[in-house]
Structure 1
Amino acid sequence: MTEQTTTPGATGADSTATPSPTDPLWVERNGTRTYTGFSARGARVDIGPVEAGAVFTPGELLKIALAACAGMSSDKAFARRLGDDYRTTIRVEDPKDVADDRYPVLTEKFEIDLSTLDDEDRAKLLTIAQRSIDKACTVGRTLKAGAQIPDAQFEQPTEG
């Protein structure tokens, strides 16, 4: 479940504010293998294993982040041609490789009505949309580049 809430460190910025790439993000433990993720802007998301119920698994969040990033990156291209009220669903349903405990492939599948366009206009729009995704989708670009993930850092909490 995702909802808006007031969290420690929230800036109270209005919805027109551009998020900073350094806005704090963190998770707090709720119980056995369950966490709540927070942003300094007041967003929260519940995270845990499938058995925990109405939570997102970390892998699901990865897939959702990729789908949302592709949608946000291509939004202007689609809206310009289809209108601001166009509808789309973007799925990333590729299976997990259980033996390696990873997702070897993550495919973004857009469900979008392009029936009002002729073949040439549809091909042009899809090319523009893909270029927009390739240029602006930070999540996809990060995954494709093979982001480095240093070992976790373990620190003693500060008292205060």
Structure 2
Amino acid sequence: MSDTHRWVEIERVEPGVFRARNARGGELHVAGDGGELFTPVELLMVAIAACSAADVDVITSRRAEPEELRARVDAHKVRDETGNSLRDIQVTFTARFAEGEAGDAARAALPRAVQTSHDRSCTVSRTVEAGTPVQVLLA
């Protein structure tokens, strides 16, 4: 089992708006109420889509560059007696490759790439599905 530590941190920059930073210096802004910025829930959905799309892209683009590769995540946010959560999370891929032998090879690899991402390689959706506990600490 491989164990590679990851971290991100957020810092409040104004009421309801936070700047997220990663170890490599990347930054993005998040807002609790949205507006033009992504909400934390939307970022979770982005993470699911991006993780799977990156996996699928690696496999299919070895055969042919996609003319289009999209992943859309749909979910229902519910509030019940246990609190807020997302339910019925669904990832839908749209992919288009040029006609020809290379495009045919990419199209043939697509279903397995999507399934492999879901079953083994997408850390984000696998973590969500596993129901990994989140520990909250106060420094």
**TM over 0.5, shorter chain:** yes
Query: Could you tell me which of 131, 142, 148 is aligned with 2:133?
Result: 148
Residue type of the alignment partner of 2:119: D
The residue aligned with 1:93 is 74
Correspondence 1:137 to 2:122: yes
Cα distance in 1 for partners of 2:4, 2:17 equals: 26
Cα distance in 1 for partners of 2:109, 2:68 equals: 19
Q: CA deviation at 1:63?
A: 0.2
Deviation per CA, 1:50-73, whole angstroms, max 9, x where unpaired? 35x221100000000000000111
Query: For 1:41-52, what aligned pairs fall within 5 Å after superposition?
Result: 41-51=24-34
Task: Point out the structure with the larger strand share.
Answer: 2
Cα distance in 1 for partners of 2:62, 2:33 equals: 39
Cα distance in 1 for partners of 2:78, 2:39 equals: 15
Gaps of 5+ in 2: none
Query: For 1:4-153, what aligned pairs fall within 5 Å after superposition?
Result: 21-51=4-34, 53-81=35-63, 83-99=64-80, 100-113=83-96, 116=99, 122=107, 125-150=110-135, 152-153=136-137
User: Secondary structure of 1:102's partner?
Assistant: strand
Gaps of 5+ in 1: 1-19, 156-160
Which range is displaced more, 20-29 or 54-63? 20-29
Contact 1:73–1:136 (CA<8 Å) still a contact in 2? yes
Q: CA deviation at 1:115?
A: 7.7
Residue type of the alignment partner of 1:62: L
- What TM-score, normalized to structure 2? 0.79
Aligned sequence identity (%): 28
Larger radius of gyration: 1
**What is the number of residues matched between the two proteins?**
132
